[in-house]
């Protein structure tokens, strides 16, 4: 569930359960930005009522756990910790996290510091994941022109996981099949490398040239091959979620109030 959807949680849960879907992932930006976002405890009650499992996606806008600026790095880790706390409060099965990035144009010493900060950040966040009992799942990122992302290949993802030196039970993997395709990898490259450590799967499609997040309709074989407990369609609109499972037309769902309304406290 993305902040761009402008849908209430209840409306979205009505929609996806009518489609036969049984899982929802909330992006942290939705919970921070939507004027009618429920509290973590309320989300736990709602997902229980609708009988769906839930995961959270840690912040990734205005956020960088691999920042070479240590103040920004520490703030980013703190926001992941708070996301893990919220995940525990709502009964979520996992929290998805990115591995950070640094501009390629920066000098080598900056890039070296950035990857060192990414390792440190992941280690600190994984320790908190173990304390609250919610797995943190590092996601493979798509490559970006001019930006070095730390988890675009199986080797890079494995190196960051190893450097974190955390209990694999609480530091797992999110396999994003669209990101893998942009990076030139079949999902099997990640499945063979990480196996049961893959706890979350993100499903979307692209033409191989960019991270387009198009609807993915041919997903059944992927779900058969990926050992993840949770999978979600990571779409740009609610209607695209329906397209993935063969629904057509505009979804009839409850929308939230107009932007600018004061959020719930």
Tens digit of pLDDT for each residue in 121-147? 999 999 999 999 999 999 999 999 999
Mean pLDDT for the stretch of residues 38-44: 93
For residue 98, what are the CA distances in angstroms to 14, 104, 131, 249? Answer: 29, 18, 20, 33
Chain centre to alpha carbon of residue 141: 10
Distance CA 105, CA 50 (A): 48
The answer to the question of residue 69 being in a domain is: yes
Q: Does residue 263 surpass a pLDDT of 70?
A: no
CATH number at residue 169: 3.20.20.150
Q: Does residue 14 surpass a pLDDT of 80?
A: yes
Mean pLDDT for the stretch of residues 37-51: 94
pLDDT of residue 261: 36
Number of neighbours of residue 237 by Cβ within 10 angstroms: 17
The answer to the question of residue 45 being in a domain is: yes
Distance CA 179, CA 202 (A): 9
Q: β-strand 101-103 against 147-149: which pairing, if any?
A: antiparallel
The answer to the question of residue 118 being in a domain is: yes
pLDDT of residue 8: 87
The answer to the question of residue 67 being in a domain is: yes
Contact between 136 and 177 under an 8 Å Cβ cutoff? The reply is: no
Mean pLDDT for the stretch of residues 93-118: 93
For the chain, the domain total comes to 1
The answer to the question of residue 160 being in a domain is: yes
Mean pLDDT for the stretch of residues 173-190: 97
The answer to the question of residue 143 being in a domain is: yes
pLDDT of residue 20: 96
The answer to the question of residue 38 being in a domain is: yes
Domain that holds residue 64: 3-244
Helix (H) or strand (E) holding 23: strand 23-27
Helices (H) and strands (E) in the chain, counts: 10, 9
The answer to the question of residue 256 being in a domain is: no
38: closest CA among 4, 77, 93, 89?
A: 89
51-73 pLDDT, tens digit per residue, is: 999 999 998 877 777 777 778 78
């Amino acid at each position: 569930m993305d902040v761009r959807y402008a849908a209430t949680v209840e409306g979205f849960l009505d929609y996806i359960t009518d489609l036969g879907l049984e899982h929802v992932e909330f992006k942290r930006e939705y919970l921070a930005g939507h004027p009618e976002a429920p509290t973590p405890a309320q989300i736990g009650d709602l997902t229980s009522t609708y009988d769906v499992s839930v995961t959270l996606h840690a912040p990734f806008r205005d956020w960088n756990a691999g920042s070479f600026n240590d103040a920004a790095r520490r703030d980013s880790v703190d926001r992941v910790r708070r996301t893990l706390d919220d995940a525990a409060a709502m009964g979520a099965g996992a929290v998805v996290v990115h591995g950070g990035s640094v501009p390629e144009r920066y000098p080598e010493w900056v890039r070296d510091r950035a990857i060192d900060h990414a390792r440190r950040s992941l280690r600190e966040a994984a320790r908190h994941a173990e304390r609250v009992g919610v797995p943190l799942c590092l996601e493979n990122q798509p490559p970006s022109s001019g930006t070095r992302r730390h988890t675009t290949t199986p080797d890079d993802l494995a190196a960051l996981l190893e450097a974190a030196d955390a209990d694999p039970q609480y530091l797992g993997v999110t396999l994003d099949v669209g990101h893998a395709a942009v990076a030139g990898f079949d999902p099997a490259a990640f499945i063979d490398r990480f196996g049961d450590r893959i706890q979350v799967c993100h499903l979307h499609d692209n033409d191989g040239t960019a991270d387009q997040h198009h609807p993915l309709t041919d997903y059944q074989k992927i779900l058969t091959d990926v050992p993840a407990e949770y999978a979600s369609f990571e779409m740009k609109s609610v209607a695209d979620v329906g397209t993935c499972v063969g629904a057509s037309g505009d979804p009839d769902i409850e929308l939230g109030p107009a932007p600018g309304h004061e959020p719930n406290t």
